[in-house]
Amino acid sequence: MPLRHINTVWLAIVAIVLLMLLVNPELVSRESISEFLSGLGTLALLVYILVSLTRAALMIPSTPFVLAGAISFPDMPIVVWIISAAGVVVGAFLVYSFPSFGSYDEYLEEKYPDKIAFLKEKMQGNYAFWIIAGWAFFPLVPTDAVCYVAGMAKMSYKKMIIPLLVGQLPLATVYIFLGTEIGEWLRL
């Protein structure tokens, strides 16, 4: 397949996944992911690592995976936390480094030009650290979006990833604690 068609294929895969999620949103619920992992036996942790590291390529949020990991591996909360942190770093790197992959940059620039311009400006200001950390900490907004804008604003990766982890990892810690508690409750 010629390299020029990779964006089309990738967009088709993302569209199919999104359509599947619209029709059946339970596919990425913490319960369905946990159930899937439980059925894998000894391969569960390896599959969990691979999915956590690649989920950003399909624009799937990390929250259900963190909760599912905590439920599936209640005896390994630190391992789940490390996998979550690695998933955040890898996902941020993908979105930051390849903002034009799949033509998302063009789509977002056309659909939200004022918001993108506003965020780009803020990414180069004095409060960029706190904007990124706050964005990553707030659970109702996609963390990948701030990575995308940071990449478009040509912010250095180091300046983007540190506040992202500062905001994201406390939230992941809470999710892991809640997931472990939910997992213990479900096993009663």
Q: Does the pLDDT at position 162 exceed 80?
A: yes
Of 95, 75, 61, nearest in space to 171 by CA: 61
Confidence of residue 108 (pLDDT cuts 50, 70, 90): low
Q: Does the pLDDT at position 9 exceed 70?
A: no
Higher pLDDT, 161 or 184: 161
Do the beta carbons of residue 83 and residue 48 sit within 8 Å?
yes
Q: How far apart are CA 77 and CA 26, in angstroms?
A: 24
Confidence of residue 175 (pLDDT cuts 50, 70, 90): confident
Q: What is the structure's pLDDT at 68?
A: 79
Q: Does the pLDDT at position 76 exceed 70?
A: yes
Q: How far apart are CA 44 and CA 75, in angstroms?
A: 14
Q: Does the pLDDT at position 151 exceed 50?
A: yes
Of 86, 106, 85, 87, nearest in space to 148 by CA: 106
pLDDT tens digits, 14-50:
567 667 666 776 665 667 766 776 777 778 888 888 8
Confidence of residue 82 (pLDDT cuts 50, 70, 90): very high
Cα(first)–Cα(last) distance of the chain, in Å? 52
Q: And the tokens for 145?
A: 């979006």
pLDDT tens digits, 42-56:
788 888 888 888 877
Q: How far apart are CA 136 and CA 170, in angstroms?
A: 10
| CA-derived radius of gyration, the chain | 17
Confidence of residue 166 (pLDDT cuts 50, 70, 90): very high
List, as one string, the DSSP characters of 124-171: TSTTHHHHHHHHHH-TTS-HHHHHHHHHHTT--HHHHHHHHHHHHHHH
Q: And the tokens for 160?
A: 């983007």
Q: What is the structure's pLDDT at 116?
A: 74
Q: Mean pLDDT over residues 123-144, rounded?
A: 84
Q: And the tokens for 35?
A: 């159930």
Q: Does the pLDDT at position 7 exceed 90?
A: no
Domain boundaries, the chain: 3-187
Q: Does the pLDDT at position 1 exceed 50?
A: no
Q: What is the structure's pLDDT at 185?
A: 63
pTM (2 d.p.): 0.68
